[in-house]
Structure 1
Amino acid sequence: MTTIASTPAQTTGRPAVPDLLLDRLREHAQATPDALACAFVAEDSPEGTEEEQLTYATLDREVGAVAAGLRAAGLKTGDRALLLLPEGADFVRGFLGCMRAGVIPVPAYPPLPVQSRQRVETLRSIVADCRPRAVVHSASDADVEAIQGVAPELADVVWRRPSEMLGETPDPAADHPAGADDVAFLQYTSGSTSAPKGVVVTHGALAHNLAMIGASFGLEEVPRFVSWLPLFHDMGLIGNLLHPLWAGGSSVLMTPMTFLKRPARWLRAIARYRAHVAGGPNFCFDLCVGRVRDSDIEGLDFSHWKIAFNGAEPVRPATLDAFTRRFSAYGFNPAAWWPCYGLAEATLLVTAVDARQVPNRLTLDKDAFQQDLIIPVEGAADGAADTTTLISCGAPLLDRTVLIADPETGVPTPPGRVGEIWVGGPLLPIGYWGNERATEETFRAIPAEGPQVPHMRTGDLGFLHDGELYVTGRCKDLIIVGGRNHYPQDIESTVEESHDAIRKGCVAAFAVDDGGEERVVVVVGAGQGAVGPGEEAGAKRAAIVRAAGVAVAADHGVALHDVVVVGPNAVPKTSSGKLRRAACRTSYLAGEYAPDARNGQKAQTAHTEES
């Protein structure tokens, strides 16, 4: 039998479950009651100043009050409470109050405005799946009525605001003594490739992942975080709120819209609070390079920034280099780069680089890589012709393991081959809520060869080199043309650079079957007057189509079947900013991007045929 591509556990034996989050919170409230737990940045603050703070003592008291309020409302252990709360203090109180009461919190994106079909459909899917007994919210009475109007199944459940429960007297009898095997919360997947499914995260799995994050950071200081990531998503919730609380640190939080409107606010907050940890998906660093002016960052100091994590989407070497060039004069250290890999089905973190070193890069022969073969090219610079450069996402730790397997057969792949990433080891989430079939397929996969140990299938592609994981894409997104593999993010990156009107992170590439073979389609989000009526806009769209086609043909040897130019907001994404390629492909095949598909759409699109 061939040697399989897998990582060994770094320790032996079944590890003890680390201290649970609720226990750690109580300890911090007693040991450091006046220490800052959370601060919340005012949305209109150009300097990133906070509008509210919670110390550990205040947080402990308010969490107890919410737990008592939920119990008084009739909720019992194991009931689900849907959290429709924006990023802020109410979210923290509501989430932790549910956990303390033994009620299972279910974070979800508030579907406001209710005219958003995608948000409403996602909410109704989650409601049908988890059947909540209550909604914890901070909406106005009018918004509550609007939500119940589009989601009538929520009309008869308990609706409570955290602010209304703060007057309750914390009652130890309302506290549920959580065990490691108890359900802590349901983390619904982003829906980037399918309908959302509720990952069942136990208190033990959460504690183990929080300990993994702490071990991988290796910080000597009590950690300080600054984050803009949504709290109903696993990276924002676990990585940027719960981990700092578990570690006794602090998190300064702002809304995603605060960051997206002015990325400089995030950078200014990082400097103001002297954060050790701040990061996000790759696109957020591109956004900082492209939209932050010199005057926005004058006098800032990033020398304290020790962990600049980059995950949730492919990590691009060009992004790391551009960000380092732009901000090294302000003290940013390239050793702070911390590429990582994780997903909700693993609680959050799976692998991460050594926080003390600059991440490893691997330059590969492009022709071999398109055939799933890993052949390193020594001495080639990033971006050299006929090569592909990837960034390592590091290695697992604390008994977490990674196996690379053939996605079709389940046979572990030999070294030097791309395959599906399977995750093993103890204290993983136990499955999807109420979905035994999907749980069996995803969380109980048995390799066709080697030790018959259950693994969790990720649906992501990658390979191991020198014990470190390199992520290459998703199984379902892979484009195969002429017998060669093409990763959509590579094509998207080429298209992004082909014309200056194309917005970063707003390009989706996918394949369609014309009855004989796969064809490549690209949907491009563009600005600078490319969207709208008139000859000038039409000429710009035609120029984008030509530039994209030439660039992709030159870099990848692929002829684009169709290029659709739309406004940036017409490219579907998840709430965390990841491209929804499958949804984009579905819309394309349904004719939603066709020039005459809906009123005004002719002014929004341009196709290959037009040029």
Structure 2
Amino acid sequence: MNPPLADPHEFVGDCQSLVELLRRRAEHSPDQLAYQFLIDGQHEGARLTYGELHRAAQAIAARLNESAKRGSRALLLYPQGIDFLVAFFGCLQAGMIPVPLPPPDAARMMRALPRLKSVIADSQAALVLTTGELFATLHQHFDAELASLLWLSTDGPPSDAESSACAFVDSVVRGSPGPALTDDIAFLQYTSGSTSTPKGVMVSHGNVLNQCRLLKAAASYSANSVIAGWMPYHHDYGLIEGLLQPLFVGVPCYFMSPLAFIKRPIRWLEAISRYRVTHSQAPNFAYDLCVQKITPEQRATLDLSSLQVAANAAEPVRAETQRAFYDAFKVCGLRESALAPAYGLAEATLMVSHTRLELPSAATDQISNPVSCGRVLDELQVEIVNAETMRRCATGEVGEVWVAGPCVTKGYWNRPEETERTFHARLADSDAGPFLRTGDLGFLRDGQLFIAGRLKDLIIIRGDNHYPQDIELTVERSHPALRSGHGAAFSVDVSGEEVLVVVQEVQGKQLRDANVDEVLSAIRTAVYNEQDLSLHAVVLLKPGGALKTTSGKIQRRAMKAAFLNGELDVLG
């Protein structure tokens, strides 16, 4: 195996595309390990060197060039694993635009198909790449819309059913597309739909390469880094920092499926311990899960001393989580300085701000309340703006977070009006811009970014602003029978007045030791004492009843709609 180059960035700094990046890696280090998939999060499964990935992607591109034209959108439906990577880079090499999506779960097919069809319609997809097994499952649910697409299983030769349903022709390449350019769309990143209908964010090759370059500096990646994770490929966090950042830096990546982590959270930390991982990332709930599910006896088997960056993003970062995770795993050699909250969104490719390791006060800031999401990435500009007047807020004042810079994407696919409204904002006092309006509330203090919540989720009761995250945190702390991160607070109109409603999922085991009235009383008392608010209604949901996005974010709007329509899976 070839050792990593002393400075891998030296020969990738002027790459124009992800295609060129992979080609250069394959030319310079063909036998170096690129990706190792961990079956069940533990055993080593399929692996790829840079050379193997490049050749496998070329083979997929050869099939695609015969099947669709350059610029066609190709949905990628794969379980977590090596097959996705080959298909993703195969699409890029063929000049097509991959659209990573979560693979439909057979047990929830009727719920998954409407979203799949909405993305097909929105992206105007021409073909779907998947595995033979998943194709066989989906084929049972084909209607005219799904059957009209070209379906290609990339983990083996086309089956008879595939060939018949999709009129697939497997033949040689007739020609290669021209080279991808920096401004070309690399892929469509469909938003999770936590607050609205999913939209396809147009992410260019330049956006990704700039993001990787800036993230390399912010998170102190080096030629000696080792990366491991479990975030799904269809989420921007899992795709860009989890899978593409290792390629950019030129270091090995060990990854597992999200399900493997959820079933046994220790698998993630075992991988960090076993492979001497330096960088990993996950949303806030994952750190909570590790604290809750990993026993003291299991902790004694872990060595987390190699971990330099444990990034926390993709959902609100809680100081209590940061503190609990450090307290639980410091006996494993975890450094407090490794805790690295960050903030980002798909519309800015991924990260906008990230905790810098070189700052001596960083560790303290990450376990205090509110939590700092670090400093804004180099070359990005962040302004805190009054969403109504479009003027800059005073220092320390909460306002909407606006972003400009090379990581801000092109906009939403086929949605010019929404693109104009979201990506081309200008300051009223100076006409500076254009800026991306994130829809997130935050403030800057001592050069660091703090996030307060979502602009559209803001609850206004009798003229006072309340952030739902604060209320939800109060609720889940009020009684041990309540499940962390599985509640929603929102307001509804009753006779012309906005009133507060809380919907909260319970944990079955703890609830057996408490009666429902006791839990309801605890919630009302806590919200009144801590938030000075009275609750109009409190609804307890059965385990699994909370509505969340595919990336684990609570769907407040969907929960509110279900409450108003009487569609919640209510306890009792």
Asked if residue 33 in structure 1 is aligned to residue 33 in structure 2, the reply is no
Map of 1:394 onto structure 2: 374
**Which runs of structure 2 are paired with 1:570-581 in the superposition (5 Å)?**
570-581=545-556
Deviation at 1:170, TM superposition (A): 9.4
Partner residue, 2:91: 98
Return the TM-score normalized by structure 2: 0.91
Q: Does 1:500 align with 2:480?
A: yes
Q: Distance in 1 between matches of 2:29 and 2:436?
A: 38
Q: Distance in 2 between matches of 1:163 and 1:219?
A: 33
Q: Is the 8 A contact 2:70 2:177 kept in 1?
A: no
Is the CA contact 1:230–1:236 (under 8 Å) kept in the aligned structure 2? yes
Q: Residue 420 of structure 1 corresponds to which residue in structure 2?
A: 400
Partner of 2:259: 257
CA distance, structure 1, for counterparts of residue 306 and residue 141 of structure 2: 43
2:554 matches 1:588: no
CA distance in 2, matches of 1:468, 1:37: 34
What SS class does the counterpart of residue 476 from structure 1 fall into? coil
Q: 1:287 is matched with which residue: 277, 286, 289?
A: 289
- Could you list the per-position Cα deviations for residues 115-164 of structure 1 after superposition, in whole angstroms to 9, with x for gaps in the alignment? 44442221111111011111001143531313424xx4121111111223
Gaps of 5+ in 1: 1-15, 364-380, 383-388, 594-600, 607-611
- Aligned residue number for residue 371 of structure 1: none
Q: Which amino acid aligns with 1:40?
A: F
Q: Distance in 2 between matches of 1:362 and 1:334?
A: 11
What does residue range 188-337 of structure 1 map to in structure 2 within 5 Å?
188-337=190-339
User: Once the two structures are aligned, what percentage of the paired residues are identical?
Assistant: 41
| CA shift for structure 1 position 192 | 0.4
**Match runs of 1:548-559 below 5 Å:** 548-559=523-534
Q: Secondary structure at the match of 1:271?
A: helix
SS in 2 for 1:206: helix
From the superposition, tell whether residues 92 and 397 of structure 1 become closer, same or farther in structure 2 (CA, over 3 Å): same
Partner-residue secondary structure (3-state), 2:515: helix
Q: What is the Cα deviation at residue 224 of structure 1?
A: 1.6
Q: Tell me the residue number matched to 1:164.
A: 156
Quick check: 1:447 aligned with 2:395?
no
User: Does the Cα contact within 8 Å between 1:423 and 1:455 map onto a contact in 2?
Assistant: yes
Q: d(CA) in 2 for partners of 1:546 and 1:464?
A: 37
The one of 63, 76, 82 equivalent to 1:83 is 76
Is 1:346 aligned to residue 366 of structure 2?
no
Q: 1:359 is matched by which residue type in structure 2?
A: A
Structure 2 residue 146 is the aligned partner of structure 1 residue 154:
yes
Give deviations 1:164-183, integer Å, cap 9, x for gaps: 369x9996943541001111
Match of residue 54 from structure 2: 60
CA contact (8 A) 1:361 1:391 kept: no
Indicate the residue corresponding to 1:438 in structure 2.
418
Instruction: Give the CA deviation at 1:433.
Output: 0.4
Is the 8 Å Cα contact of residues 111 and 147 (structure 1) preserved in structure 2? Answer: no
Which residue of the other structure, out of 359, 384, 393, is the alignment partner of 2:362? Answer: 359
Deviations 1:40-75 (CA, angstroms, capped at 9, x unpaired): 1112x5xx2221111111111101111111112x21
Q: Report the residue type matching 1:563 in the other structure.
A: V
Asked if the contact 1:393–1:469 (Cα under 8 Å) also holds between the matched residues in 2, the reply is yes
Q: After TM superposition, give the deviation of residue 482 of structure 1 in Å.
A: 2.9
Q: Which residue of 1 aligns with 2:125?
A: 132
Distance 1:257 1:66 in 2: 27
Please say if residues 488 and 554 of structure 2, whose CA atoms lie closer than 8 Å, have aligned partners that are also in contact: yes
CA distance in 2, matches of 1:461, 1:486: 12
- Secondary structure of 1:469's counterpart equals strand
Please give the alpha-carbon distance, in whole angstroms, between the structure 1 residues aligned to 2:327 and 2:171.
Answer: 53
Query: In the alignment, residue 28 of structure 2 is paired with which amino acid?
Result: A
Match of 2:497 among 517, 522, 532: 517
Normalising by structure 1, we get a TM-score of 0.86
- Give the deviation of 1:352 after TM superposition: 0.9
Which consecutive residues of structure 2, in runs of 5 or more, have no partner in the other structure? 1-12, 159-169
Deviation by residue 1:515-566 (Cα, 9 ceiling, x = unmatched): 23221111111123477xxxx68x6222221111111111111112111111
Relative to structure 1, the CA distance from residue 362 to residue 299 in structure 2 (aligned partners, 3 Å threshold; closer, same or farther) is closer
- Cα deviation, residue 309, structure 1: 0.3
Q: Deviations over 1:6-61 (max 9, x none)?
A: xxxxxxxxxx9765322221121122222111111112x5xx22211111111111
RMSD: 2.3
Q: Measured at CA, do residues 172 and 314 of structure 1 come closer, stay the same or move farther in structure 2, by a change above 3 Å? A: farther
Per mean C-alpha deviation after superposition, the further-off stretch among 175-184 and 91-100 is 175-184
| Whole-angstrom distance in 2 between the partners of 1:265 and 1:428 | 34
Matches within 5 A, 1:438-477: 438-477=418-457
CA distance in 1, matches of 2:378, 2:431: 20
Q: Which amino acid aligns with 1:69?
A: R
1:297, CA displacement in angstroms? Answer: 3.0
In structure 2, the residue matched to 1:597 is none
Aligned CA distance change for structure 1 residues 333 and 360 (closer, same or farther; 3 Å): closer
Letter matched to residue 48 of structure 2: L
C-alpha offsets along residues 307-338 of structure 1, whole Å, 9 cap, x if unaligned? 10001111111111111011001000010111
**Aligned counterparts of 1:117 and 1:460: Cα–Cα separation in 2:** 32
Residue type at the aligned position of 2:477: E
Residues 202 and 412 of structure 2 are in contact (CA less than 8 Å); yes or no, is this contact kept in structure 1?
yes
* 1:605 partner amino acid: L
Contact 2:80 2:257 in 1 (8 A): yes
- Of 540, 547, 557 in structure 2, the residue corresponding to residue 565 of structure 1 is 540
Alignment: residue pair count:
548
Structure-2 separation of matches of 1:404 and 1:313? 20
Q: Which has the higher contact order (CA 8 A, sep 6+)?
A: 1
Superimposed CA distance per residue, residues 232-267 of structure 1 (whole angstroms, 9 cap, x where no aligned partner): 110000110011112111211111111111111111
Residue 120 in 1 paired to residue 123 in 2? no
Deviation of 1:225 after TM superposition, in Å, equals: 1.4
1:570 counterpart SS class: coil
Q: Aligned pair in 2 of structure 1 residues 115, 328: CA closer, same or farther (>3 Å)?
A: closer
Work out whether residues 339 and 359 of structure 1, in 8 Å CA contact, stay in contact via their aligned partners in 2: no
Name the counterpart of 1:404. Answer: 384
Distance 2:69 2:265 in 1: 42
Aligned to 1:505, what secondary structure does the other structure show? Answer: strand
Indicate whether 1:605 and 2:571 are aligned: yes
On the 8 A contact 1:64/1:100 being kept in 2, the answer is: yes
* Conserved? CA contact 2:508–2:543, under 8 Å: no
Alpha carbons 1:65, 1:165 under 8 Å: kept: no
Shift of 1:300: 1.4
Deviations 1:373-403 (A, max 9, x none): xxxxxxxx96xxxxxx211112223311101
Structure 1 match to 2:18: 21
